[in-house]
Amino acid sequence: MTSLMMTPRRRRRAASLAGSSPSISACRFYATSTAVSLLLREEEMGLAHKRHANIDREAEPVEERALLLGVIIELVVADDREPLDSFVISCGLPSNVGVDSHGRRWRSDYRFLTSSTNTINSTAQYQDPSLPSQIPYMSARIFTSPTTYKFPVSSETRHWLRLHFYPSEYSGLDPSDAYFAVHANDLILLHNFSSFITAQASTQAYFIKEYSLLPIQSGELSITFSPSLRHHGSYAFVNGIEIVSMPEMFKPAKLVSTDRFIDVGSRSLQTMFRLNVGGQFIEPNKDSGHLSRTWYNDSPYLLGVRSGVTSGADENVTIQYPSDMPRSIAPVDVYSFARTMDPNASANQNHNLTWVFLVDPIFTYVVRLHFCELELDKINQRVFDIYVNNQTAQETADVLAWTGSRGVPAYKDYAISIADGRGDETLWVTLRPSVSKQPEYYDAILNGLEIFKVSSDDRNLAGRNPTPSDMLLKDEARKEFSSSKINHAPIIGGVAGGAVGAAFAVAMCFVAYRKRRQDDGNDSVTRSWLPLYGHSQTTASKSTFSGCSSTLSSLRQGLCRHFSLQEIRHATKNFNKSQVIGVGGFGKVYKGVIDGGTNVAIKRSNPTSEQGLLEFQTEVELLSKLRHKHLVSLIGFCEENGEMIIVYDYMANGTLREHLYRSNKPALPWKQRLKICIGAARGLHYLHTGAQFIIIHRDVKTTNILLDDKWVAKVSDFGLSKTGPDLHQTHVSTIVKGSFGYLDPEYFKRQQLTEKSDVYSFGVVLFEVICARPALDPNLPREQASLADWALMCQREGNLESIIDPKLRDEISPVCLKKFVETALKCIIDQGPERPSMGDVLWNLEFALQLQENPGGGEHAAVEKANNAYAIHNANGILNPGEGSTSATADEIDDSSTVFSQIFEQKGR
């Protein structure tokens, strides 16, 4: 194999024989040689694998050779941008080749295993709706002992290595038991790593770890997966492996506020963040140079109210890379979009653009900023300073001074070391106008941003698993569990349903809940480069659970039912996996039968974890006191032998989302959809006004609206809920949590939570219901990716009716459609105070229903019937006397509600 690897001298010789440029013909010759060596290597490995009894034998040798010859042909015809090495491997794939939703071909992994002993190829028991494709995520390779993959690679280039993980149940194994390490030759990538914790913390069902590896001098990349010896029953797994050769794109980077430089080119790196600033999500198959990188939108990482404006290159601007900058640095789409500051120059003098990221301490990071001037054409028109963690990285940055012309890209690298502090470690990137230079415009610009972790001197890139922040722990500790009043602590309620997080992998990193883990020994556990949220998983002590038991014992007197563990085991057939109907952050949800025939939903936490202990306590007490037709009902709980189990009513028709899109279930008729929206609004209105304290749900979405056997809507999953402000407050200041796509932009920017944050999320739900599409769909064009943004754009352009679900267009009366859409639009106004209350939203949905049922009956009659429906809703114990909204006439609403005055004006015109 070594004899076939091309040296630079042979490459030049090949070019001269071919009579063409060394950069093209020699590259093709070299690629062919590499492919031939790959063929020989795989022949050898194939012979070795045949000695193992449990080898996968799905593919015939003829098919294997044909596939490899196809690789050779593809490499021969490739241009100079195509990588020398490209392995796209779906681990545990039952067939030899699979194709993902983007048309990328993934090959089976078994030929690259040095041993298939103690490995299992398995299929996930559950497909999360957020998965972008079944391949590579639905198949996995399980390792019960240290196992190595070997890949023949070029010894003269760096390589991207990407590891794909989808923590799920494989072959009956508990995903929370997967603790393992990963090494690439002698480089430590992951150590005592829990994919389960990482996925929970990031609110992502799947995630990717990406590394840039130094050239492998041996020409053979070994990737070893080793189950942890520190956790009983541990195993390792992986869903996909990508190895792509890459050009050298790292030069020495200057440490901020010093005269020292870091030789980045001599270190391996981990990609922490990669953002297309001001632009759209860029899929791997649209990256430059066939490098298959993913670029996310930057909006979730922006700090502060003034987030600037985004713009794209007009038709007169063509992106032209300078001769000394390879196109592989970043694709054209990155340089074609930018984020700049607000048009108000005087205001910009006192403001800045800031992005905030969570990173691992005790590492050095390289911050790469991408620039391309798209509008201006003179030096000193836009000059700004660059700061990293409030340290000066660059003074008087002027993109045109660097490039000489608009439309010409440039990039700058800055290095910074993050010390090991107490609690969350953050990395801030700030751009501020250089007032002292008196530029023509007080402004700043940025097109792209990447952050890379630099390997340590001992060749380590492993960080820590995510854990709750000090802020969260202190906040939760303050809120003691009390049976005399409703607790202020967050609650986890309802049956888990739908996807974990959004498909939009970027979500909100800097608001992550993480507390620095005090590990035993050298337990350096890694974190995902995806956004991090949620809670850690640690071993709970017996005293912890005994405290839980004693605290809840008072509830056994009638507020709710206390189940024995034996009853729960009998109801779930001893927690048989065939009874699992969902998986959430708290644990699995089972369908059970109690009392000889009553169906229930049983949510069980991981019995070896203390995660959710406080939430378990508060949820039991809170839901035992809150009873409402449109909230999921608590039946009882069990806290025996260290178990934390909650029993709810069974929702026979599942979640609202699965009846709207991406399922085989029949589409719901419009009137039924409208009634479901009304039911959900009633439940939220009760939370905001009917309890002793305002309760803000904070995670309103279509997967958290459940439907019973009679299609009655019930709000569920109160895991992120928060009690609202009292009479002396306008908001609650809290770390941002929620689901991207539904998140109130004002809450995100200011970290100030009000009940109007729920109103915004519910507005997105209303558009989901009428448009039958996800709140976020990164596969759509940029302007359509966010449902809320798309609806607002269509409304501005006057073609809002074009986004309506085609199945509904013949069902909805025009007057009903107008009221429904106007209500939804008011809910998603950026400024919280300008949004309606949930009581206003509920009234208007009742009004829309009356218009649908009696389109020719007149608005006064519809108002009267809506008032009656609203009054009945309040009379049924929904509101305490004197609290919340009241029914009204059309004229009263016109006088009192500035938000809806244009909707309810009944006077002659």
> What pLDDT sits at residue 678?
96
Residue 847 has pLDDT above 80, yes or no: yes
pLDDT tens digits along 202-250 = 778 899 999 999 999 999 999 999 999 888 899 999 999 999 999 999 9
Residue 180 has pLDDT above 80, yes or no: yes
The most confident of the ranges 73-77, 82-86, 607-611 is 82-86
What is the mean pLDDT of the segment spanning 444-450? 97
> What pLDDT sits at residue 732?
58
Long-range contacts of 41-50 (CB under 8 A, 24+ apart): 41/1, 41/152, 42/68, 42/111, 45/111, 45/112, 45/114, 45/150, 46/111, 48/114, 49/110, 49/111, 49/113, 49/116
Q: Tokens standing for 452?
A: 């890379």
Residue 146 has pLDDT above 60, yes or no: yes
Residue 315 has pLDDT above 80, yes or no: yes
> What pLDDT sits at residue 552?
52
pLDDT tens digits along 536-552 = 222 233 333 333 444 45
Q: Which residue has the higher pLDDT, 595 or 546?
A: 595
* Sheet of strand 445-446, all strands in order from the earlier edge strand to the far edge: 309-312, 337-340, 445-446
The arrangement of secondary structure in 657-904, i.e. its CATH architecture, is Orthogonal Bundle (1.10)
pLDDT category at 900 given cuts 50, 70, 90 is very low
> What pLDDT sits at residue 870?
62
Report percent pLDDT > 90 for the chain. 44
Domain boundaries of the chain, sorted by first residue? 269-454, 539-650, 657-904
Residue 337 has pLDDT above 80, yes or no: yes
Residue 154 has pLDDT above 90, yes or no: yes
In DSSP notation, 39-53 reads HHHHHHHHHHHTTST
> What pLDDT sits at residue 407?
95
pLDDT category at 620 given cuts 50, 70, 90 is confident
What is the mean pLDDT of the segment spanning 319-334? 94
Give the DSSP letter of residue 657. G
- Min mean pLDDT across 243-252, 313-322, 480-489, 776-785 is at 480-489
> What pLDDT sits at residue 187?
97
> What pLDDT sits at residue 874?
58
Cβ neighbours of residue 637 under 8 Å, at least 6 residues apart?
Answer: 552, 555, 560, 561, 562, 563, 616, 620, 645, 646, 647
Residue 792 has pLDDT above 50, yes or no: yes
Neighbours of 499 (CB within 10 A): 19
Residue 585 has pLDDT above 80, yes or no: no
CA dist 734 and 135 (Å) reads 38
pLDDT category at 349 given cuts 50, 70, 90 is confident
What is the mean pLDDT of the segment spanning 599-616? 69
CA dist 703 and 500 (Å) reads 10
705 and 758 in contact (C-beta within 8 Å)?
no
550 and 376 in contact (C-beta within 8 Å)?
no
* Cross-strand pairs, 227: 180
CA dist 631 and 302 (Å) reads 34
- Min mean pLDDT across 19-28, 344-353, 570-579 is at 19-28
- Class for domain 269-454, per CATH? mainly beta
The residues annotated with a catalytic role in the active site are 699
pLDDT category at 726 given cuts 50, 70, 90 is low
What is the mean pLDDT of the segment spanning 27-38? 38
Cβ neighbours of residue 278 under 8 Å, at least 6 residues apart?
Answer: 298, 310, 311, 312, 337, 338, 339, 340, 446, 447
> What pLDDT sits at residue 559?
64
The arrangement of secondary structure in 539-650, i.e. its CATH architecture, is 2-Layer Sandwich (3.30)
pLDDT category at 171 given cuts 50, 70, 90 is very high
CA dist 414 and 254 (Å) reads 6
Q: Which residue has the higher pLDDT, 436 or 2?
A: 436
Can you tell me whether residue 849 is helix, strand or coil?
A: helix
CA dist 502 → 384, 662, 758 (Å): 35, 15, 18
> What pLDDT sits at residue 82?
58
CA dist 789 → 234, 698, 737 (Å): 44, 20, 20
CA dist 84 → 215, 257, 892 (Å): 13, 39, 73
CA dist 79 and 618 (Å) reads 61
What is the mean pLDDT of the segment spanning 477-483? 39
> What pLDDT sits at residue 64?
42
What is the mean pLDDT of the segment spanning 317-332? 94
Which runs of consecutive H residues, i.e. helices, occur in 90-147?
134-137
The length of the chain is 909
pLDDT category at 612 given cuts 50, 70, 90 is low
> What pLDDT sits at residue 584?
65
Can you tell me whether residue 228 is helix, strand or coil?
A: coil
Residue 706 has pLDDT above 50, yes or no: yes
Question: Which helix (DSSP H) or strand (DSSP E) does residue 209 occupy?
Answer: strand 207-213
Which runs of consecutive H residues, i.e. helices, occur in 90-176?
134-137
Cα-Cα-Cα-Cα dihedral sign, residues 473, 196, 234, 363: negative
- Min mean pLDDT across 18-27, 284-293, 298-307, 523-532 is at 523-532
Residue 310 has pLDDT above 70, yes or no: yes
By DSSP bridging, strand 410-418 and strand 253-255 are: parallel
Residue 767 has pLDDT above 50, yes or no: yes
Q: Which residue has the higher pLDDT, 435 or 859?
A: 435
CA dist 739 and 763 (Å) reads 14
> What pLDDT sits at residue 545?
36
What is the mean pLDDT of the segment spanning 25-46? 39
684 and 456 in contact (C-beta within 8 Å)?
no
By DSSP bridging, strand 86-90 and strand 105-108 are: parallel
* Cross-strand pairs, 270: 211, 453
Instruction: Look at the pTM and tell me if it is higher than 0.85.
Output: no
pLDDT tens digits along 856-881 = 665 666 676 666 666 655 555 443 32
Residue 532 has pLDDT above 50, yes or no: no
CA dist 846 and 853 (Å) reads 11
pLDDT category at 276 given cuts 50, 70, 90 is very high
Cβ neighbours of residue 232 under 8 Å, at least 6 residues apart?
Answer: none
pLDDT category at 699 given cuts 50, 70, 90 is confident
* Cross-strand pairs, 387: 392, 430
pLDDT category at 882 given cuts 50, 70, 90 is very low
Which runs of consecutive H residues, i.e. helices, occur in 602-723?
613-625, 670-689
pLDDT category at 819 given cuts 50, 70, 90 is very high
CA dist 718 and 697 (Å) reads 6
The rounded Cα 350 to chain-centroid distance in angstroms is 33
CA dist 722 and 734 (Å) reads 9
Neighbours of 49 (CB within 10 A): 20
321 and 387 in contact (C-beta within 8 Å)?
no
- Min mean pLDDT across 209-223, 442-456, 642-656, 816-830 is at 642-656
Q: Tokens standing for 344?
A: 């108000």
CA contacts within 13 A on the Cβ side of 293: 27
What is the mean pLDDT of the segment spanning 181-209? 91
> What pLDDT sits at residue 18?
37
Q: Tokens standing for 618?
A: 């508060």
Residue 822 has pLDDT above 60, yes or no: yes
698 and 722 in contact (C-beta within 8 Å)?
yes
Mean pLDDT estimate for the chain: 76
What is the mean pLDDT of the segment spanning 664-692? 90
* Cross-strand pairs, 431: 353, 386
